[in-house]
């Protein structure tokens, strides 16, 4: 039982390049999230999904796109990377509220992205 797995763990990009971060969870969770973590800024929600085939914008969605074609996977894409997107990205997943009466999020170990 791996939980939430993120790939890659580290990546260096040049400005303007594109890339995709992959998140996979094996807990059959309905909900999945992408956060970015920057020093002194906490965790800010980029996009989230409440089920297969659905996505929604979070607090800081600009410059990112997401897809949830399969329930267990949530992809975060950067079409044209900018230095401001240098950050640590965390994927998380959770049960729907009716399955478990808790709002607990289960996080991956993060993907560190540097944009030069």
Partner 1 sequence: QQQVKQSPQSLIVQKGGISIINCAYENTAFDYFPWYQQFPGKGPALLIAIRPDVSEKKEGRFTISFNKSAKQFSLHIMDSQPGDSATYFCAASKYLPGGSYIPTFGRGTSLIVHP
Smallest gap from residue 17 Cβ to partner 1 (A) = 25
Question: Per rule CB under 8 A, is residue 41 in the interface with partner 1?
Answer: yes
C-beta separation of 26 from 89 below 8 A: no
b (16+ CB within 10 A) / e for 7-32: eeeebebeeeeebebebbbeeebbbb
Stretch that binds partner 1, among 17-25, 65-73, 74-82, 103-111 (CB under 8 A): 103-111
Size of the site for partner 1 (CB under 8 A): 29
Whether the link from the prior residue into 8 is cis, omega within 30° of 0, is: yes
Residues that bind partner 1 (CB under 8 A): 4, 30-31, 33, 35, 40-45, 48, 50, 58-59, 90, 92, 94, 96-98, 102-105, 107-110
């Amino acid at each position: 039982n791996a939980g939430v797995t993120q790939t890659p763990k580290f990546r260096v990009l040049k400005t303007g390049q594109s890339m995709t971060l992959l998140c996979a969870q094996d807990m059959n969770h309905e909900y999945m999230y992408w956060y970015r973590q920057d020093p002194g800024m906490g965790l800010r929600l980029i996009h989230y999904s409440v089920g297969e085939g659905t996505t929604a914008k979070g607090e800081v969605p600009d410059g990112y796109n997401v897809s949830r074609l399969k329930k267990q996977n949530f992809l975060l894409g950067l079409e044209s990377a900018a230095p401001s997107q240098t950050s640590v990205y965390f994927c998380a997943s959770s049960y729907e509220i009716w399955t478990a009466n808790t709002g607990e999020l289960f996080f991956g170990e993060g993907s560190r992205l540097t944009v030069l």
